[in-house]
Chains A and B, each alone.
Chain A
Amino acid sequence: MKFDTIIIGGGLSGLASGIECARAGQRTAIISAGQSALHFWSGSFELLGQAGGETVITDPLSHIRQLDADHPYRVIGADRLRALLGRVPGLLADAGLKVSGSLDANHLRLTPLGFMKPAWLTLSDYIALDADAPMPWKKVALVNIYSYLDFYPRFLAAGLAKKGVKCHMGTVNIPQLDILRRSTTEMRATNMSRFLTNEAVDDLAFKINEVAAGCDAVIMPAILGIFSDEPVERLRRAVKCPVWFIPTTPASVPGVRCQLSLRDLFIRLGGEFLPGDTVKRGEITDGRLRRIFTVNLGDMPLEADNFVISTGSFFGHGLIADMEHIYEPALGLDLNVSKGRTAWYDKDFYAPQPYMTFGVVTDEDFHPSFHGRTVGNLYATGALLAGFNALKEGSGAGITLATALHAASRITGV
């Protein structure tokens, strides 16, 4: 099979570059192994939250000069970064995802444990607080679902109390969820969201109104709207005060929603999405990736003019560590990793972990190298790249999207 562009990896990065290529009229395929980092997404994208030991709020792009010279943001450059990332809200809107936020200032998101963290874009039903303005509420209702264990009202209340917000805690139940409780492991966010439609949402809203009387807002776990906005909008219409959602432990409802929405947009644009498949090898000759082979297709090769590899870090199995080595399993690309496993980690869990910065080596245009030679028709994007600690920087989504859109624009010339 022959495509214009093949993208290896169906997470945020792969989907973003796939959408841009397909939109430009390219015959595009995405090969996706399955779940990605989006499955534990918080509902917020981060651009740059920490630099030079400080929390970044205003003008995050001006802080990129504090990063190392080979950091992807520095390689792309502030101006181009602004242009590339400026397209993201529109791309998300095309997929049906409404976000708020700007490249000029971070806002704060409220985490499931009641902490505030800087963020760039946040889904419209999730909390995005202006760092300088007073809190928008005096008293909120923290509403949990009976027997649901992945929402922590007492930690949220402690966090909100620091900001002077009073919290009223309540629990609601609706009979439509009883079927989940019959099994001891089914009361999880994505499962509940499948049952919370139509009348179930009305019943839930009725119960929430009872608990939230006299409150300025309702804060509840993100358990609605896995397939569409409809249940969320229905709930917000029926509840007498604004409703905000807090992400839960995986699988996250906003994460699955985002993944499905972007995938559907890609398919609407004519893209070929190959789910449940893994690239097992490729043929690289004379500095070009000629074709690749997957587990499902066996000996039948996939060919393309250009390729993008966005298989993620260890979590996405884009990198694999055995007792002695770290390698990139799909194509065997050159890596920037420390030698010897004791150099992979720090003994303090909260210290910057070296393994977080490992990834493939690329040139300034994000072409990886293979046996020391640049592969000119291949781009590496997202968490597979080396040279940054996205967790400590609060930069994961920004790097993922910027490098994906950079690759797509180089490929399509748009």
Chain B
Amino acid sequence: MENTKDYDVIIIGGGATGAGTARDCAMRGLRTILIERLDFTAGATGRNHGLLHSGARYAHTDPESAVECIKENIILKRIARHCIEETGGLFVSLPEDGLDYHAAFIEDCRKAGISAEELDPTEALRIEPSVNPAIIGAVKVPDGSIDPFRLTTANVMAARMNGADIMTYQEVVGFLREGTRITGVRLRSHRDGQEREIRGKVTINAAGIWGHHLARLAGVDINMYPAKGSLLIFGHRINNMVLNRCRKPGDADILVPGDTICVIGTTSTRIPYDQIDNMEVTPAEVDLLLREGTRLSPAMAWTRILRAYAGVRPLVADDSDPSGRSISRGIVCLDHTKRDGLDGFITITGGKLMTYRLMAQEATDLACRKLGVDRKCETAQVPLPGSDNTDDDRRRRAHIIELSTEQKAAEERHGSLTGRIASNDDAEDALVCECEQVSVGEVNFAIEELHVHNLVNLRRRTRMGMGTCQGELCACRAAGLLERHEKCARRTLNDLASFLDERWHGMYPVCWGETLVEIQFTSWLYEGVCGLDTDTASPIGEQPLH
């Protein structure tokens, strides 16, 4: 199948960077298409702490990144308010950490422009009672939490509203070229296996760690080293503020509260490139996260662990080091014309979730230069869809009508877009997912507007199935609703079967206590009562082709 539309820019990768780049390109009037191999946020974007860095974490080791972070922190609080919770953060020193780092840290923060307020340990315990009472020092910084799923969805929506086309479940299997120029991509669908070609003047590789493979497909080499980071999610919020260990960045030194849960992480392990699609949290990593995590907040020892997950950071070899062993710091934006003599191809990588907008801006600036377009970037000023109401609007609305818990939950997730969720009668208000308060109306909104084809997509857009029951009671309800749109019982039942398997993959590394109780119940319900088993479960959609 041929897409005859001629694009200015093809962006590969549906993480925050790709979605942000699509938004930026579309806002600058470029004819834009965003292509994602699986689902938005399926890679590193959806597999991190969800930490809105103040930059303090980097203040001592990487001042340049620290400055970038605090600048973007302030911008995101303006443009992505519905994705952010301004919890504040603490950097705490334990007796074994000493206070040397602590003293230098405050000075480094000030240099980077990050407000860092030294607190008496008693005061720190008063404002954040979950912190280890053994702390000997504490510094308050403007850390917060950010929902990467929401952030990416909002960027995708903004791109679409500005005219961009969006394709998910399309994997780039080859590049089209004329001489030394990349002129488009060849795609294979993960849904039906069909191949198609898309033409564009500039192609931007924003595929994170998978960008290594894509560059090779395009005939150029970027050396990326995958570094796996594992994290644990707890069943409720232990802490109200982000907790960091005040020492050199290490394992399990950050506990971030977000939505109904909190997350401890990470570990850091170099893994072979052929393992990047095989993210598994090992028992040793679980032990380490718990051992170190309980030093930050002892309550972790008796709090239920919902699941474990891991993501891959792409560490990019520094082009200036001929040995290829040094790792680039910060954002890497490669113009392959200059670097490799390959025209029409840009790679944007390195960086972090915090700097996704800046990465998008750099990549779009370069694309504009290549296309001879002179339009200023406005992504730092224009709010994202969902964040475009003012505080006054919110206050007025909350004053006039008393919002229900479900409405508040939906508003937390979708911000000013909540009005698009149908709530005309009791049937639309009925809850599909009780843990996360997701209504029938919200599920239908996500299916119709947010590129949802399966239950995992739906989970990422709404938090359905992310709560304490891990989909036990809501997965079949959601499958029932999804089938009404997809109109294929067999495919939806396959999808339901693989959704439960996907939930299990995050549960088995922490399969004791109530997690084991929950999964035994889920097995009895779906496999026993409902008769769903391996014959019906043939996973679709989330497996890479190569």
Contact = CB atoms under 8 A, between A and B. Distances in A.
Interface string A243-256: 00001011010000
A336 B161 CA distance: 60
Nearest to B500: A349
Nearest to B496: A113
B345 to A, nearest CB: 39
B316 to A, nearest CB: 32
Contacts of B537: 349-350
B289 to A, nearest CB: 12
Given A314-B516, A321-B516, A391-B523, A112 B530 contact: yes
Chain B binding surface, main DSSP class: helix
A391 B477 CA distance: 23
Contact of B493 (A42, A155, A341, A353): A155
A37 B524 CA distance: 9
B2 to A, nearest CB: 35
Interface string A302-346: 000000000001110100111100000000000000000110110
B505 interface: yes
Given A321-B516, A322-B513, A342-B283, A149 B530 contact: no
A382 to B, nearest CB: 14
A147 interface: yes
Interface residues of A, number: 53
Interface string B519-532: 01101110111111
Contacts of A322: 512-513
Contacts of B481: 149
Most buried by B among A115, A150, A314, A356: A314
A314 B513 CA distance: 9
B524 A115 contact: no
A154 B493 CA distance: 11
**How big is chain B's contact interface, by range?**
35 or more
B444 interface: no
A187 interface: yes
B511 A149 contact: no
B508 A112 contact: no
A111 interface: yes
B489 A157 contact: yes
A320 B476 CA distance: 28
Nearest to A321: B512
Interface in B21-76: none
A152 B523 CA distance: 19
B297 interface: no
Contacts of A314: 516-517, 520
Nearest to A355: B516
A355 B528 contact: no
Interface in B468-506: 473, 476-477, 479-481, 483-484, 489-490, 492-493, 496-497, 500-501, 504-505
Contact of B476 (A113, A158, A351, A391): A113
Interface stretch (B210-218, B306-314, B428-436, B456-464): B428-436
Nearest to B282: A342
Contact of A154 (B283, B483, B512, B516): B483
Contacts of B490: 158
B426 interface: yes
B406 A184 contact: yes
A272 B234 CA distance: 41
B323 to A, nearest CB: 38
Contacts of B508: 345, 347
A185 interface: yes
Contacts of A315: 517, 520-521, 524
Contacts of B505: 347, 349
Contact of B531 (A117, A152, A323, A349): A117
A371 interface: no
Nearest to B432: A149
B525 A40 contact: yes
B307 to A, nearest CB: 13
B275 interface: no
B328 interface: no
A349 B504 contact: yes
B536 interface: yes
Interface string A101-136: 000000000011111110000000000000000000
Interface string A135-168: 0000000000011011010110111000000000
B512 A323 contact: yes
A349 B501 CA distance: 5
Interface of B: 283, 290, 404, 406, 426-427, 429-432, 434, 439-440, 473, 476-477, 479-481, 483-484, 489-490, 492-493, 496-497, 500-501, 504-505, 508, 511-513, 516-517, 520-521, 523-525, 527-534, 536-537
Given A158-B490, A320-B513, A348-B501, 15 more contacts: A111-B530, A113-B493, A113-B532, A147-B430, A149-B440, A181-B426, A182-B426, A313-B520, A314-B516, A321-B512, A344-B512, A344-B516, A349-B500, A350-B527, A391-B524
22 contacts: A41-B529, A111-B529, A112-B530, A115-B530, A149-B432, A149-B481, A150-B477, A158-B489, A181-B430, A185-B430, A187-B430, A321-B513, A342-B283, A345-B508, A345-B511, A349-B501, A350-B501, A350-B527, A350-B534, A350-B537, A355-B511, A391-B527
Which 8 A/B pairs are nearest by Cβ-Cβ distance?
Answer: A158-B489, A115-B531, A147-B427, A181-B426, A111-B531, A349-B504, A321-B512, A350-B534
